[in-house]
Structure 1
Amino acid sequence: MSLAPSALAIEQAASLRDYNTFGLPAVARTLVHIRGDADVRRLLEHPEWGMAPKLVLGGGSNIVLTRDPQAVVLHVAVAGRRLVAETDDAWIVEFGAGERWHDAVAWTLDNGWPGLENMALIPGTVGAAPVQNIGAYGLELADRFHSLDAVDLITGRTVTLDHAACRFGYRDSVFKRDAAEGGLAGKSVITRVRLRLPKPWQPVLGYLDLERRMAETGNHQPDARTVFDWVCAIRRAKLPDPAVIGNAGSFFKNPVVSAEQCHDIIARDPHVVHYVLPDGRFKLAAGWLIDACGWKGKTIGHAGVYEKQALVLVNRGGATGAEVVTLARAIQESVYGRFGIRLEPEPVIL
């Protein structure tokens, strides 16, 4: 790494293997470490890279690199965590976009501000969380979101977006949609995120794995720390640690189908795991669908399906992005052939 006269932290011909949790090989011609809003503005003023295409990279937990990016890669490393405000009905906490998500969850609990415990151990950074609208065990980021700051990659201006402006959907937000859809994909860098943790705290327990824990322990009124510990134990039991086995967490979104479609699938496969949604539609467990098609533990090239959770694709050592994509497409075709459902990948495939 070198510090240019502009004080930007820049690397040339930088390997991105350590910057994506899949551990896939790729090289950035220029990698810029963003430590604050000012770094983005310095980059935009740079005579060579200011007008060049940009690729924003946080913790690399939601990307599959199939080639060397030609764009200038921005590694978001903005630090910081603080309580912004406390009201009668909520705590408002703020994090730098480069903070690790799980560390942020643990920090709020350590300070007596519960509300994020269901999303413990999700890999990646805080800045990536609103992009993907991450979620787990019955809770989504959108349920706790307050606002965020982002720097426009054209003007260099810092803007604040509230919940409505982020246009959250299931594993979706305005940051994943391109300009044709009125989106901000590739047009801004998230630098700070604020979350609203409501008072009084109420546990979110309507998820099968958590219901099983309550039944096993006899604890039907767990506190936030207990829910946190349960979620960590559940995830560790069936999801691989990216530091040990390269992966991007859940690879496919859980498909949402009509009640008619769900009843049709249940008639053929009574054991399908499904959850009713408030609007009457049903969410199906993508991992169950993949497992039912016989993919758990299978491998194509050096990419495989994790033995303990079919929803997770893994790097068995030396995998390329092309091998991961080949495996993912084979799974999609298999699930569609049996169930008539098209699985949609969660990570961005570059």
Structure 2
Amino acid sequence: MRIGFLVYPNCSVMGLAVSSVFEIANVVRGEKAYDIQFLSEKGGPIKTSAGLVFQTQRISGGSIDTLVVDGANDPKPSSPQIISYLKAAERRCRRVAASCTGAFVLGQAGLLDGKRVTTHWLFARTLQEMHPTAHVDDDRIFINDGKIWTSAGMSAGIDLALALVEADFGIDTARSVAKKLVLYHRRSGGQSQFSELLELGPKSDRIQTALDYAKRNLHRPLTVAKLAEAAHLSPRQFSRAFREETGQSPAKAVEAMRVEAARILMEQTRHPIDVIARQTGFADRSRMRRAFIRILGQPPQAIRRNARLETRELRNAEGAKPRLRSPREARKRTTREPIPA
């Protein structure tokens, strides 16, 4: 099947790395399952924002199974020819995808109307303002809505590409591709673009103090009154300041922090789910499960299962490698081996 990468002057080099997923998929399958092509409006050499120049083919009405639009650090309006090509591609192609700010290009062609989409969180608000009929989620790695696929920041395009490979050839092929690329098997599309434990980014010491208190006490009830007390503010002052500095309510932030902590425990320990739910402040496993699905898009059991599969695969791979001998062992072995005549 033909995979077309639509590029343009000053596009991102990182976005082009997505093509490696399909290249390695061909290696894994031992056949040319994907015919990778780089396309541009006029064809010929295209210079990326990093100065790399590479050859492209001119866009045409030829058959493309999946079209992937590259992103750019500074999205610009597309030409009428590109917009016309994308409108036709939506009808002809099985899938149309965009990496990072490539979503802006899809939006100019009207392909985001009524769709759930994502992009890099820095550009999400602008994308929503420019395309009010789209439903822009600024906290997802990638989203698939019908034949439209969109991803967050550039590296998230690799997760999207692995998901496309998985849809085409199954999870085993996608895992093998990820392993050859020395990647963790693709992150779920529902996964957050950034860690809640690290990225709330309050501006004042008082709100930071409240967050530090919450991190240390996730296993306890964390009411607004308790957090406000830690910040030395009234509950009303605290709620207002917290939302102004973090962009979300204290309750939503605490839930996300609990989910993040519980996810780490699910991946790195063998504790029962009930125990993890109590340790991270969920009243019971049912509430934790609902929070996982709401924030991560997967239940806790799926998170643990994927982590165990990855660990098992890594151990198997390590077991297949020859053990490196220490210098002392090497010297002993050398003295025992006869010298060739």
Give me the TM-score of the superposition, normalised by structure 2: 0.26
Q: Which has the higher Rg, Structure 1 or Structure 2?
A: 2
More helix by share: 2
Higher relative contact order (CA 8 A, sep 6+): 1
TM-score (norm 1): 0.25
Structure whose residues are more often strand by fraction: 1
